[in-house]
Structure 1
Amino acid sequence: MTTEGTVLPLAALDRSSLPIAGGKAANLGEMIRAGVPVPPGFVLTTSAFRAAAEAADIGPKLEALAGTEPSDRARLATLAAEIRAALSSVTVPDAIAEACVRAYDVELGGAAVAVRSSATAEDLPDASFAGQQDTYLGVLGKEALLDAVRRCWASLFTERAVVYRADRSIDPRDVSLAVVVQRLVHARAAGVLFTANPVTGRRREAVIDAAPGLGEAVVSGATNPDHLEVRVDTGEIVTRRLGDKRVVIEALPGGGTRHEERADGSAEACISDAEARALAAMGARVEAHYGAPQDIEWAIDPEGKILLVQSRPITTLFPIPVGPLSKDGDLRVLFSFNVAQGVFRPFSPMGLQFWRAFAGVASRGLGLWDGEPLDGPPIYAVGASRLFLDITAILRDPLGRRVAAFALSRMEARSGVAVRAVLDDERLGVVETPRWRIARAAFRALARTRAPVTLARALREPDAVPGRISAKVDAAIAVGEVPGGSPPSAYLDAVERMIREGVAPFLFTAIPSIVGALVSMLLFRRALSGLMTEDEVHTLLRSLPNNPTTEMDLELWSLSRRVGADPASRSVLGEEAPAALAKRYADRSLPAVLQRELGAFLARWGARGVAEIDIGVPRWRDDPTHILGSLANYLSLGDDASPPDVAFERGAREAERKAEELVERAREKGALRGGVARFAVPRVRRLLGAREAPKFGIVRILAHARSLLLQAGRLLVQEGKLAAEDDVFLLDLRELRAVTGGTDLRALVAERRRMITQELGRKHVPRILLSDGMEPETMAAAASGEGGLSGTPASAGRVTGKARVVLDPVGAKIEPGEILVAPSTDPGWTPLFLTAGGLVMEMGGSMSHGAVVAREYGIPAVVGVAGATARITTGQRITVDGGAGRVGVEA
């Protein structure tokens, strides 16, 4: 066989070399080209791996692996072991072995080397695959080199690597592996550098873990390293925490490495402040070159020269949202609309479009902004396909600060804590807006929208509020009617008419009406101040009328009783899967009663769905699987189940009795208090119940717009301009207009579909994010005074659960939600991470393997917790605060 292209020097590679050299080697070559100091070496390319794989005859096993479901962990593990055994024992083809040995002798002088795996699915922008393949240090001699190469090839199919790829839908037949061979740095000190803080998210803050000897001690978590945090722009070392560094890994003169455990460790810093600053500066160079924060392995040789031996993207950072206001360079405070709405999944591009448009229509109607409604006001920013609101201007104003802190703390306690932490940030200076200017804008907005009149009507006739809101929704939908036979552009015209003509009247009826609920509640609490308990308030607010969501739930229960009385309907609901029943509903082949009753329910409530505020998500009328599953579950409860409609009526009667009692109690304190209570109490119940009506109205508008866009999509598919009708939701309205005009955006649609699929796996979405990447929740956690065991923050988040202390992963089992407590971890432990709710390690720093994988899986983690496995016992309830670096242990 020819060996041309089998062995290449690292200097010949760049980022485009991924298919032939894998991620690690391609990144090393890219750094060399950028002028970054990298130890010399070469790569044994993927063509060598393919030749070895052919010799080992692993093709049939790869086919079997590709056909195995990710959930079948046992089958994945068995196939991985078989492939690994075949590659471990294969004879390296002679021509490849000769080329490898020749490069080793000529380019590296036969010196001790590091042999590293470099997979084609590794060190990618959206998945780091940290520690998934093997590295061998201190390899010396030709036979040892070839043996290390074989073991690297085999490590492509470790169980952890196979499972990791299966979970990310990466075809095993498409994955290959190159092998990097580099001169080993006999390091005085080594470690890991993150160019952005991986725990807090703050950019331009380098985080360094360092230890004497080879960096493997840091990466593997075998030692407690020195930990430094350096502000890149100023060189200020803001955090310095010295580890004991008891374990040191050194290269041996005759090959191999030595692990030395020093009883007392070292209290001295292993790198100087100047070296820390130099590392931070070099990391910034690499980050600038790649255009993204990097996870870098480094070493300092005995002469003090810094060398980089690996760089890969940090994949666990939440992307900084980008919007019109982010371009001025000032610190911005971004509030997650997704989290506020309980929708953690990404929005479709069309979903983002609609919320920008809703805000644009509202802002223009209020006279606060005069831009194009479809673009939306400049307060919007988008990150990871999630919507954020730029609330910087509000938090810079003294009055805005008080209002925001109050509102957010009432809406979601953790958001309130995060906002208070932001307000303490000295970079967020106060800029007071003249009160006359605020008053003028408010007066103009009230006059333009006639909000006081609408509010007065709501207070006078609270039971009429849902009907008024519904009428405005009907009017908005009527504007969007399209005659049959129209071209795709006509459906887009209809959608735009709904937005431009129908949304504003709806919003300016709905919002003031619901403000009436807040006014009523304020009056109610004033009138009954000191005369009631919070438990009584909860009783008053039971079984509220005028709530469309409650009405829907009760109707679904009633539907289950009606179809349950029909033997044929009851039979299919008990015997067939909901997905199959949904298909039968579309084919109109369900039993007559179920077909008719379900159709009637969906005619009224079919606009709803899971994550329904995103127009790109199917409605129940599109796919009633969820509803059919609910009906089956209700029927499985039996006829003796407590009927929710009866419980609702009972709650309503108790609430009305409590209302009368509270009014009488206020009257006894005086005629004025009694009169206010008599006015406010019934309105609290009726208007608070109607608070869901505006959201249901928005959902109905979105559902009709969705149907129009789907019809446009069907026509565009027929014209060959789109591949699928729901591709319309992966574009915004302007882009969709371009498609109707003949622009081919199918490649863009495919890329966005891939991105949305990837984002569906994101574990963490911050409530509030600063434009430098900092999450204020981590700031608040660090400032809190909670007690417990302390360590190094490794993966942000907070979880409480039962501890599971594990000293050896072999045969260990972690029940879902249990918190893994371990002395240290390496890649062999990662199957336990799949069910663990959190991680506590005695050893390691924030860049050790356990910490990196914890962040990959999105589980809170604290590492470097001295004596954790002795001070915590299995079964104890503990709280892991990965942002603060604390572990609370219940007595």
Structure 2
Amino acid sequence: MSTLTLDFTRIDGTMPASVGGKAANLGELTGAGLPVPPGFCVTTEAYRRVAAGVPLDEVREALLAVEIPADIADQIRAGYEELGADVPVAVRSSATAEDLPFASFAGQQDTFLNVVGIDSVLDAVRRCWASLWTDRAYAYRESNGIDHAAVELAVVVQRMVDAEVAGVLFTANPVTGRRREAVIDANAGLGETVVSGSVNPDHFVVDTASARILQRQSGDKKIAIRSVAGGGTQEVSLDSAEPCLSDKQILALAALGDRVERHYGSPQDTEWAIDAAGTLWLTQARPITTLYPVPDSPSNDGGGRRAYLCVSVAQGLYRPITPMGMSSFRLIASGGRRMFGLPVTDALAGPAFFSDAGQRVYVDATVIVRSRLGRFIVPRIFDVMEARTAAAMRSLFDDPDMSVRPGAFRAARHILKLALRMGFPFRLTEAMVRPAAADRRLDGVGRRLLAIAALPGEHDSRTRLEHVIKALPAIPTMLPKALPVPLAGFIMLAFARRLLGSGEGLETVLRGLPHNVTTEMDLELWRVAGELRGVGLSSGEIPPPVQRFLDRYGHRAVAEIDLGMPRWSDDPAHILGVLANYLRLDDAEAAPDAQFRRGAAEAEAMIQSLSRKAGGVRGRLVRFALGRTRRLAGLRETPKLFLIRFLAEIRRQLQHVGADLAAADRIARTDDVFFLSLKECREALDGKDFREIVASRHESYDRELRRRQVPQMILSDGTDPEAIAAPPADGDLVGTAASTGHITGIARVVLDPVGAHLEPGEILVAPSTDPGWTPLFLTAGGLVMEMGGANSHGAVVAREYGIPAVVGVPNATRRIATGDEITIDGAAGTVTLLPAADRTPPPAPATASGR
């Protein structure tokens, strides 16, 4: 039996290694009885034969010039003759790394249309082989982390459809994410004009479930590509405003797409053609790789679509979460549910409202959106915490599935009971009246929480694991006891705003806040840099000042709420890199500690000014309220510090478990324990081998690290509410004002702070930040973030350092490139990209006003 060519009828979806992704799908579709034009595949074995021994840097030229071995040519000839005498065919590349669930490779290798005659077919096969090594295909593999040497190419030879009309069909809306909403683009002639984007096609949207056409939009359709007798194609001019598909054809296409999706069990990107006889043909199908996964949550009351909120993005964590981090969140959420006196069926599985998608944490927020109380309170919290999430939530208020329902926010009663039981009102009042006593009480909360996490002495791994499972649910009990203290500071700020009648000048009051553990950490790192001046950093050893810093702050990390992320004490490379950046800053006036002191002095002066402006009793109340604001608001980071210290101790216990599992060959390395769940840790200790599972999870995690779009909210049908909102205005990038001041400077786009290089004065452009990012702020000239609100971590620290900041800027890391000169207005919340002609020559470091 030939292994050099295979007819579609002998191919199925399990064979991409031998026939490539495209041919595997065409064979699978043929076997499913779908209308696929007949054809065959020249397998990867043929490619291996002709490419054997050719260096990668010479392979394209060698394949273009190769003489196809006689036995391969004979089998291609036989397959071609089976399709008909000199029948027109499409010759299409089918790479082994193609049509994958995470990378489609659409258009990366070559296709040749209306090829007639065996000599032309053999030449097209040769050119397809060579197209595996075009610059675009090479760059695409590079960006997706695919090993070039491991990729091989098969070639599809398929009977050509002489199309009257053709195009593409997505079985889910690729823009909004909505599932079972077919999107069709069509043009007269062959589908190449639609695929290549050389025309504005007719555009149709169909609700698949109800078979309703939701949208019709006619394109200009200026040209078409048609087959030429004897081989090849030609471009012809068109002049027709009429739609190229009838309603009957549109619905038939949607139904065909639905069949394809049901066969594969996931949304598909398909290509199709309709011939002169009106027959509909399916010429390709592959997964839609850009859709964000829909949260898989059992929480459903049968009342229409659900709305899910991404908790991890709201916490400034854009990257995926390790399996152990996700497992810990489930257990913590179970602890929170028990704290409210509600039952938990399986603590390790988490409550029904908890879900994950794309390896990020989502919770079912439908009950909030459907409640008047929820609508009133929650978006206002996000206004200052993560403004884009607030906007996404409000965009759902007019959705019929999210209409207000009586009793939809019963949790309010539980929250009130819990607040009273834990003394929340007393703690709030105590913080306002006796802040020193509130400080002591807050410290006690942290000490008790850390005592729960600790497990002194030597213990076996099973004891350590069970301790971890018992300790994690205690975390939520800390919040009602710790949050009233910083909350009192912000209540006092709101009281002062009410007394003054406006918020003018209040942002200045928040500069240089004392008692903020994050800014204290950053300034301590700056002092370490001062000790290293003149000494420098030597490779291979940790200087004593750095070790002293790590002894105190080594429990912190980037993405530190994820239990699986290494702490700075595990890997100090990030801290050493930040220190190297600090040592480049030699302007004493721009030094962060000097700026922090200036900010504190400006804040105290502003309090005096505002109290004089108010005058009399009102002025004394303003002075008292703003004094309490400065005394308490900086403590907002303290509960987070308690959490991170707790998690660092839990992580240490799990590292012991990981070491034992690695020694027993249940996992490959100690830290692979963080790619297991807590339940799986139990199974591994019982003897189960998880090495292959962990290796697969590492690959999946690495792919998710490259994902650039994470919806703050997503509906159960896949819709991203932000994607259906009004489009952003042209011109300036608009976000949320976070820290006043103007700066014009060079942008530095940083997707991961570990190892990031930031020159003093550059404007940091980031997807989101948590406290692990903030050491970079000390030398940044300004800050732009895709996520965040006026009181998110990044905004607070930017204000305290006096650097202009705009947060919640959609797609900032894609619309701004490293090296762009930009102006940010921290008061207006705008970012302006300067045209090349207006850019200043490079540079002395950028300077900022309002710093």
Is 1:605 matched up with 2:553?
yes
User: Which residue does 2:784 correspond to in 1?
Assistant: none
CA drift at 1:357: 2.6
User: Which residue does 1:749 correspond to in 2?
Assistant: 694
Is 1:448 matched up with 2:424?
no
User: Which residue does 1:519 correspond to in 2?
Assistant: 491
Q: Partner amino acid for 1:227? A: H
Alignment of 1:147-296 (within 5 A): 147-262=123-238, 265-296=239-270
Q: Partner amino acid for 1:418? A: A
Cα distance change, pair 503–410 in 1 and its aligned pair in 2 (3 A): closer
Would you say the 8 A contact 1:5–1:45 is kept in 2? Answer: yes
Is 1:87 matched up with 2:50?
no
CA drift at 1:441: 2.7
Cα distance change, pair 438–499 in 1 and its aligned pair in 2 (3 A): closer
CA drift at 1:753: 0.9
Helix, strand or coil: the match of 1:259? strand
User: Which residue does 2:29 correspond to in 1?
Assistant: 31
Of 619, 624, 629, the match for 2:577: 629
Would you say the 8 A contact 2:610–2:619 is kept in 1? Answer: no
Cα distance change, pair 438–427 in 1 and its aligned pair in 2 (3 A): closer
CA drift at 1:663: 3.4
Would you say the 8 A contact 2:303–2:401 is kept in 1? Answer: no
User: Which residue does 1:341 correspond to in 2?
Assistant: 315
Is 1:779 matched up with 2:752?
no
Cα distance change, pair 372–179 in 1 and its aligned pair in 2 (3 A): closer
CA drift at 1:372: 4.7
1:751-771 per-residue CA deviation (whole Å, 9 max, x = no partner) reads 111110110011111111111
User: Which residue does 1:717 correspond to in 2?
Assistant: 662
1:242-294 per-residue CA deviation (whole Å, 9 max, x = no partner) reads 111111111111111111134xx210111111111110111011011111111
Cα distance change, pair 654–369 in 1 and its aligned pair in 2 (3 A): farther
**Aligned mates of 1:32, 1:694 — CA distance in 2:** 59
CA drift at 1:405: 3.0
Cα distance change, pair 731–246 in 1 and its aligned pair in 2 (3 A): same
Q: Partner amino acid for 1:126? A: F
Cα distance change, pair 48–647 in 1 and its aligned pair in 2 (3 A): closer
Would you say the 8 A contact 1:466–1:690 is kept in 2? Answer: no
Would you say the 8 A contact 1:132–1:160 is kept in 2? Answer: yes
Would you say the 8 A contact 2:37–2:281 is kept in 1? Answer: yes
Helix, strand or coil: the match of 1:137? strand
Alignment of 1:243-392 (within 5 A): 243-262=219-238, 265-325=239-299, 328=302, 330-368=304-342, 370-392=344-366
Cα distance change, pair 504–164 in 1 and its aligned pair in 2 (3 A): closer
Cα distance change, pair 35–84 in 1 and its aligned pair in 2 (3 A): same
1:459-496 per-residue CA deviation (whole Å, 9 max, x = no partner) reads 22324545533432332222333354421112212323
User: Which residue does 1:489 correspond to in 2?
Assistant: 462
**Aligned mates of 2:438, 2:259 — CA distance in 1:** 60
| 675-684 vs 19-28, greater mean Cα deviation | 675-684
What's the TM-score, normalizing by structure 2?
Answer: 0.83
1:355-403 per-residue CA deviation (whole Å, 9 max, x = no partner) reads 2333322232133554554443322221110111211101101221122
**Aligned mates of 1:310, 1:200 — CA distance in 2:** 23
Alignment of 1:367-516 (within 5 A): 367-368=341-342, 370-433=344-407, 440-500=413-473, 502-516=474-488
Q: Partner amino acid for 1:631? A: L
User: Which residue does 2:647 correspond to in 1?
Assistant: 702
| 610-619 vs 677-686, greater mean Cα deviation | 677-686
Is 1:677 matched up with 2:628?
no
**Aligned mates of 2:220, 2:453 — CA distance in 1:** 69
CA drift at 1:350: 1.3
Q: Partner amino acid for 1:655? A: A
1:665-714 per-residue CA deviation (whole Å, 9 max, x = no partner) reads 4452xx3x456435422221122111011111111111111111112111
**Aligned mates of 1:439, 1:179 — CA distance in 2:** 62
**Aligned mates of 1:403, 1:857 — CA distance in 2:** 28
Of 514, 518, 523, the match for 1:554: 523
Superposition RMSD in Å: 2.9
CA drift at 1:8: 1.3
Alignment of 1:53-64 (within 5 A): 53-54=51-52, 57-58=53-54, 61-62=55-56
CA drift at 1:231: 0.7
Would you say the 8 A contact 2:419–2:480 is kept in 1? Answer: no
**Aligned mates of 1:718, 1:484 — CA distance in 2:** 21
**Aligned mates of 2:416, 2:236 — CA distance in 1:** 75
Helix, strand or coil: the match of 2:112? strand
**Aligned mates of 1:717, 1:442 — CA distance in 2:** 44
CA drift at 1:230: 0.8
**Aligned mates of 1:246, 1:458 — CA distance in 2:** 71
Aligned residues: 750
Q: Partner amino acid for 2:467? A: A
Helix, strand or coil: the match of 2:98? coil
Cα distance change, pair 857–599 in 1 and its aligned pair in 2 (3 A): closer
Q: Partner amino acid for 2:673? A: V
**Aligned mates of 1:364, 1:342 — CA distance in 2:** 26
Would you say the 8 A contact 2:454–2:649 is kept in 1? Answer: no
Cα distance change, pair 129–466 in 1 and its aligned pair in 2 (3 A): farther
User: Which residue does 1:638 correspond to in 2?
Assistant: 586
User: Which residue does 2:779 correspond to in 1?
Assistant: none
Helix, strand or coil: the match of 1:15? coil
Helix, strand or coil: the match of 1:743? coil
Would you say the 8 A contact 2:368–2:408 is kept in 1? Answer: no
**Aligned mates of 1:225, 1:119 — CA distance in 2:** 28
What's the TM-score, normalizing by structure 1?
Answer: 0.80
**Aligned mates of 1:439, 1:174 — CA distance in 2:** 56
Q: Partner amino acid for 2:390? A: G
Q: Partner amino acid for 1:473? A: G
| 619-628 vs 505-514, greater mean Cα deviation | 505-514
Q: Partner amino acid for 1:114? A: A
Cα distance change, pair 273–639 in 1 and its aligned pair in 2 (3 A): closer
Cα distance change, pair 249–141 in 1 and its aligned pair in 2 (3 A): same
**Aligned mates of 2:633, 2:62 — CA distance in 1:** 68
Would you say the 8 A contact 2:367–2:408 is kept in 1? Answer: no
1:512-554 per-residue CA deviation (whole Å, 9 max, x = no partner) reads 2233223222322222225xx52x1122111111100111111
Of 607, 610, 620, the match for 1:659: 607
**Structure 1: any 5+ residue segments left out of the alignment?**
63-78, 586-593, 789-800, 803-815, 818-855, 862-872, 878-891
**Structure 2: any 5+ residue segments left out of the alignment?**
732-744, 747-762, 765-810, 817-833, 839-851
**Aligned mates of 2:337, 2:553 — CA distance in 1:** 30
CA drift at 1:776: 1.0
**Aligned mates of 2:25, 2:412 — CA distance in 1:** 57
Helix, strand or coil: the match of 2:236? strand
**Aligned mates of 2:691, 2:585 — CA distance in 1:** 48
User: Which residue does 1:22 correspond to in 2?
Assistant: 20
Cα distance change, pair 732–467 in 1 and its aligned pair in 2 (3 A): farther
| 554-563 vs 720-729, greater mean Cα deviation | 554-563
Q: Partner amino acid for 1:453? A: F
Helix, strand or coil: the match of 1:351? helix
Would you say the 8 A contact 2:568–2:575 is kept in 1? Answer: yes
